A and B are shown apart, each in its own frame.
Chain A
Amino acid sequence: MMSRNAWLTAALVILALFVGSVLDTRLPKPDPAEADPFLRPGVVGQAVELRNGVVTATDVRVGTEIRSIGAITATTGRWLVVDYVFEARGEAQFKAPATLRLRAADGRLYGETPGATAACGPAQPGIPLACSVPFEVPVDAIEGAHLLVPAEVHIDLTDDVADIDLGLTAERAAELAAAEGRVELAEPTTVGG
């Protein structure tokens, strides 16, 4: 049979485990900062350097329809199309449109286009490629939107992500949203010289 000391030890261990586990649930969890992406800020017209290339947003166009690879896609909201130039570094790469995101001023994310969109690539290092990416958005998400371009396939990886302010002030957003028309998305084309 267990001695009195043994019983006491067992009781103390169980008590310690209980107290420890209660404390553990109450303590705030550490923010996993090591899992955050590296945001590289920029504005329209500015070349933003990522680990594996350079991204420059060149224009923002808004309409109620887009045409891409011959297919027309409509919306009850708006299509916000960002034209950008991607220059690969180190090796030839693609930028898949589905990996890009638009972040509204309140943090809502847009992306994963419903319609067919040509992949941006393969981009040869040193030969910039002009591409477009469409986002289906509600009208109230246009003001203050940022374009997020990941170095690899996801904006949530611990990797570079270009965070480009598209300069959509309240007036500009209202002006863009008022225009109703079709936005044409061209195939990716090399930007010469």
Chain B
Amino acid sequence: MDTWWRRNRFWLALLLPMLALAIAASSFRLVTLYRPWQWSERIVAGGPTGTLRQEFLGTDDLRRDREVTVTVDALAAVPTLGQDAAAPGATLWRVDLTLEADPDQILDGCTVEIVGPDGTRYATNEAGKVPADAQDPYWRATRALCVPEDAPGPTLFLDELIPPERPRPATWSMVAAAAIPDGVTPSVVRIMWDRPTYLELDTPAS
């Protein structure tokens, strides 16, 4: 008996896969537009050393490759770091990093976060910090430098690439600190430059 169902069985069978494809195709914006503007690409180093590789668009509208190897040398609680201390009820955690990259890489302007066991990301900027000297009226939290101060390497200013005066060394260290509430013991460090890619590193002891 040649029913409508039988005659169209080929296309009926294809219906569900087609539906799935249509839904996937309509997620086009999520993949090409929304996710790249979040920190959505995670590189898990699986240890204290990892390499971040990404392609990014500079403010001069040129696409570049970024490759930098980062090592967590130490992550420890400290009473103060320079002029900074943690607010009452919090502890200052200091992270020492070693970075290794070609001198032509643009690496100023990174963000370092220290991550707690529940995934809370603690910023290493002025959040939760107070002056180590309570009487200091001019205190501003120290900004962590991602590249050596005397040889930062190439940098993008507005829409121009500024070449460096002297080459950046192939390897250098950086220090950052986050004020973390008492009782939280962090064990993971994140470092990132441009969305969506970030590098997740473990501490040496863990």
Q: Which residues on A are within 8 Å of B, measured CB to CB?
A: 89-92, 121-127, 190, 192-193
Evaluate contact between B126 and A127: CB separation under 8 angstroms.
no
- Given A190-B87, A192-B88, A193-B88, answer yes or no on A127-B120 (Cβ-Cβ < 8 Å): no
> In whole angstroms, what is the CA distance A90 to B113 when docked?
12
Evaluate contact between B90 and A126: CB separation under 8 angstroms.
yes
Out of A90, A91, A190, name the residue touching B128 (CB < 8 Å): A190
Segment with Cβ contacts to A, from B8-16, B23-31, B66-74, B175-183: B175-183
Evaluate contact between B89 and A192: CB separation under 8 angstroms.
yes
> In whole angstroms, what is the CA distance A25 to B36 when docked?
41
Q: Which residues on B are within 8 Å of A, measured CB to CB?
A: 87-90, 113, 116, 119-123, 125-128, 130, 178-181, 184
Evaluate contact between B89 and A92: CB separation under 8 angstroms.
no
Evaluate contact between A126 and B181: CB separation under 8 angstroms.
yes
Out of B88, B119, B179, name the residue touching A124 (CB < 8 Å): B179
Evaluate contact between A123 and B87: CB separation under 8 angstroms.
no
- A selection of 22 A-B contacts at a CB cut-off of 8 Å is A89-B120, A90-B121, A92-B121, A92-B122, A92-B123, A92-B125, A92-B127, A123-B128, A124-B122, A124-B180, A125-B116, A126-B120, A126-B180, A126-B181, A127-B127, A127-B128, A127-B179, A190-B87, A190-B130, A192-B87, A192-B88, A193-B89
- Chain A residues lying within 8 Å of B126, measured Cβ to Cβ, are 122
Out of A122, A192, A193, name the residue touching B123 (CB < 8 Å): A122
Evaluate contact between B184 and A124: CB separation under 8 angstroms.
no
> In whole angstroms, what is the CA distance A193 to B127 when docked?
16
Known: A91-B113, A124-B128. 9 other contacts (CB 8 A): A90-B120, A91-B123, A122-B126, A122-B127, A124-B127, A126-B184, A127-B89, A190-B87, A192-B89
